[in-house]
């Protein structure tokens, strides 16, 4: 099961922030909403979000189909379909940012983000599988941090492990997190509801792993946005 790993740092302030993230994530390595659903039963988007909130924050579910936590019932789990597991990519479990892009030090640390829980839900429809993934994390302010909105860089990837790992699906996100005045840490949730790919052979599917992690260089890998063309006056 995935665990949140501490960053390697030598200063006390950054270490204290990482320790706080570890305490938040303690005992919450990976709670799965279920290994799979029957073919053609993908469920509604709102139901998945409700279950995410119930699992991560303990909020009450709206209907009997949205009960929080745990695995799906045995009746909803076909024996011949496995749902890929989730792991936190090595070295990408925490993300630190210093003031004005500087390295995070005891005096320049603005905030540090960490991953606390993950969950996933699979559905097979015809020749494709769709996985819905939920990630809960927490942002903790450092000495140079303050209230406002920040963007946390995150990436999800579905990889077929083996001698030559193959990336089946990947997506980069900038997760907006608002930190109100007077608060030193806030949780955040990122939900992906359409990780869809062709259904592979059973042996290949057994090697599939969903990786989650912070990706500070993700913006550089994104295709450049096209600038709107200026209209020429008559």
Nearest to 55 by CA among 72, 85, 31: 31
pLDDT (0 to 100) of residue 128: 96
Nearest to 105 by CA among 13, 184, 22, 16: 13
Between 212 and 75, the higher pLDDT residue: 212
pLDDT (0 to 100) of residue 55: 77
Residues present in the chain in total? 234
Q: DSSP H helical segments within the chain, as ranges?
A: 12-25, 45-57, 202-205, 218-221
Q: Which two tokens stand for residue 226?
A: 């096209």
pLDDT (0 to 100) of residue 184: 93
Q: Which two tokens stand for residue 153?
A: 């860089």
- Tell me how far apart the alpha carbons of residues 61 and 55 are, in angstroms, rounded to a whole number: 10
**Would you kindly state where each structural domain of the chain is located, as residue ranges?**
12-43+71-216
Reported as a single tens digit per residue, the pLDDT across 88-146 is 999 999 999 888 767 878 788 999 999 999 999 999 999 999 999 999 999 999 998 99
For the question of whether the overall pTM of this predicted structure is more than 0.75, the answer is: no
Percent of the chain with pLDDT over 90: 51
pLDDT (0 to 100) of residue 104: 79
Reported as a single tens digit per residue, the pLDDT across 26-36 is 434 333 444 44
Between 76 and 136, the higher pLDDT residue: 136
| pLDDT confidence tier of residue 214, bands split at 50, 70 and 90 | very high
């Amino acid at each position: 099961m995935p665990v949140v790993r501490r960053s390697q740092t030598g200063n006390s302030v950054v270490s204290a922030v990482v320790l706080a993230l570890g305490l938040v994530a303690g005992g919450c390595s990976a709670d799965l909403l279920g290994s799979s659903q029957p073919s053609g039963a993908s469920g509604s988007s709102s139901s998945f979000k409700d279950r995410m909130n119930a699992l991560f924050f303990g909020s009450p579910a709206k209907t009997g189909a949205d009960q929080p936590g745990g695995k799906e019932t045995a009746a909803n789990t076909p024996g011949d379909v496995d749902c890929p597991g989730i792991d936190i990519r090595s070295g990408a479990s925490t993300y630190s940012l210093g003031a004005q892009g500087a390295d995070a030090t005891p005096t320049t640390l603005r905030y540090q983000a960490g991953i606390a829980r993950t969950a996933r839900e699979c559905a097979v429809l015809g020749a494709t599988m769709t996985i819905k993934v939920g990630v809960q994390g927490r942002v903790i302010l450092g000495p140079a941090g303050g209230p406002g909105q920040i963007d946390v860089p995150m990436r999800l990837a579905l990889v077929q492990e083996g001698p030559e790992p193959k990336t089946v699906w990947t997506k980069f996100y900038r997760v907006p997190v608002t930190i109100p005045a007077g608060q030193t840490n806030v949780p955040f949730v990122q939900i992906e509801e359409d990780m869809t790919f062709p259904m592979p052979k059973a042996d290949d599917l057994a090697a599939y792993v969903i990786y989650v992690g912070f990706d500070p260089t993700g913006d550089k890998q994104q295709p450049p946005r096209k600038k709107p063309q200026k209209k020429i006056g008559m």
